[in-house]
Amino acid sequence: DPLPPVDAQVTLTITAADAAGNPIVGESGDMSIVQQPGDSAYIAPSAYTTGPDGTADVVLHTGSQPGLIRVTSPCGPAAVMANVNVGQPPGPPSTGTGLDSTDGPAMPLLAGFALMGTAVTGAGLAFARRRTRS
Domains of the chain plus CATH, in order, are 9-89+113-129 (2.60.40.1120)
Burial 76-110 (b: 16+ CB within 10 A, else e): eeeebebbbbbbeeeeeeeeeeeeeeeeeeeeeee
Query: Which residues, 6+ apart, have CB-to-CB distance to 67 below 8 Å?
Result: 36, 37, 38, 85, 86
Cβ atoms of residues 50 and 23 within 8 Å: yes
Which strands form 122-129's sheet, in the order they lie side by side?
A: 42-43, 55-61, 9-18, 122-129
Tell me: the pLDDT tens digits for 53-90?
A: 999 999 999 999 999 999 999 866 777 888 899 987 65
> What local confidence, expressed as pLDDT, does residue 95 receive?
63
Q: What is the CA radius of gyration of the chain?
A: 20
Query: What is the pairing mode between strands 9-18 and 32-35?
Result: unpaired
- The C-alpha atoms of residue 67 and residue 86 are separated, in whole angstroms, by 5
pTM: 0.66
> What local confidence, expressed as pLDDT, does residue 88 receive?
72
pLDDT for 16 beyond 50: yes
